Amino acid sequence: MNIILLGPPGAGKGTQAKRMMERYGIPQISTGDMLRAAVAAGTQLGLEAKKYMDAGQLVPDEVVVGLVKERIQQEDCKKGFMLDGFPRNVSQAETLDKMLSELGQQIDHVVCIEVPDEELVKRLTGRRTCRQCGAGFHVVFDPPKKEGVCDKCGGELYQRDDDNVETVTSRLKVYKDQTEPLINYYEKQGKLRRIDGLGAIDEIFQRIVSVLG
Ligand code: AP5
Ligand code: ZN
């Protein structure tokens, strides 16, 4: 099963992807995580990408398309995969369709998590992520047992550079202008599954499972 997770920044794509990975046994492919890993490693690609990420803008298509193309052909993607944060505009979606048809594959479901803007800002500015295992927390909505420490691995929790109010505002605008048109794109393909993203994390997971089976 090949899935796309669509939705604005902070909708809970990463949070739900972690649960879906366990349930469906398919890997999460997060272009944001891949780019942040390149930034942390200090590679040329990372240095270039960081400028865009800190401004809340999209990294150029050729950079992310290259990362995804390589990743989906790896062994663990043979039984399916979950794309989180890709595609981000119509051009990326068209490239993905082409790429998959060349590989004799296709997207089965596009899970679109819907959450109003005011809630997104609260979720993003309170998010904390584990440096070691990537687990996500929220200082109010999903706090770790011990402040600043990951429940799962004991790693240090940090706040993403782009989770400040100013960058969040620009990420939300970029989502509306460039990513939201994908809702229509996938609706036309009959693949869109709308999920109400308000409520408890587990409740939302159940909504997704009831749609995907
Ligand atoms: P990326 O890393 O993809 O970020 P994003 O799309 O902005 O999404 P987020 O990771 O912020 O949100 P999420 O939906 O995963 O929310 P989460 O589950 O963590 O992209 C970052 C940057 O990289 C982009 O700006 C761009 O520059 C670049 N980039 C990436 N992909 C690209 C591409 N394809 N093309 C070009 N550029 C690209 O949840 C958020 C918080 O809310 C957490 O604290 C969580 O605990 C909490 N939470 C989750 N669910 C709930 C709930 N139900 N109730 C209360 N709190 C909740
Ligand atoms: Zn951890």
Total-model pTM: 0.96
Residues 6+ apart with CB under 8 A from 186: 4, 6, 93, 107, 110, 112, 192
Give the pair of three-digit tokens for residue 143.
Answer: 């706090």
Tell me the pLDDT tens digit for each residue of 14-43. 999 999 999 999 999 999 999 999 999 999
The active-site residue, picked from 88, 123, 128, 207, is: 88
Q: 2-26+79-116+174-212 maps to which CATH number?
A: 3.40.50.300
The active-site residue, picked from 71, 128, 171, 193, is: 171
Q: Which residue has its alpha carbon closest to ligand 1 atom 7? A: 9
**Residues 67, 73, 79, 85, Cα dihedral to 10°:** 10
Reading phi first (left if > 0) and then psi (alpha if -120 to 50, else beta), residue 113 is in: beta
Distance 188 CA to ligand 1 centre (A): 25
Mutate to test the pocket of ligand 1, among 141, 167, 207 (most ligand atoms within 8 A of CB): 141
Give the pair of three-digit tokens for residue 30.
Answer: 């997060």
Decide whether any atom of ligand 1 lies within 6 Å of the 195 Cβ: no
Mutate to test the pocket of ligand 1, among 138, 170, 182, 202 (most ligand atoms within 8 A of CB): 138
pLDDT at residue 211 greater than cutoff 90: yes
13 annotated active-site = yes
Tell me the pLDDT tens digit for each residue of 98-110. 999 999 999 999 9
Decide whether any atom of ligand 1 lies within 6 Å of the 8 Cβ: no
Reading phi first (left if > 0) and then psi (alpha if -120 to 50, else beta), residue 134 is in: left
pLDDT at residue 213 greater than cutoff 90: no
- Tell me whether strands 127-130 and 157-158 are parallel, antiparallel or unpaired: antiparallel
Decide whether any atom of ligand 1 lies within 6 Å of the 67 Cβ: no
pLDDT at residue 55 greater than cutoff 90: yes
Q: What are the domain boundaries of the chain?
A: 2-26+79-116+174-212
Q: Which of 165, 161, 131 is nearest to 148 (CA)?
A: 131
Question: ipTM of this predicted complex?
Answer: 0.97
CA separation for the pair 41, 145 (Å, rounded): 29
Reading phi first (left if > 0) and then psi (alpha if -120 to 50, else beta), residue 154 is in: left
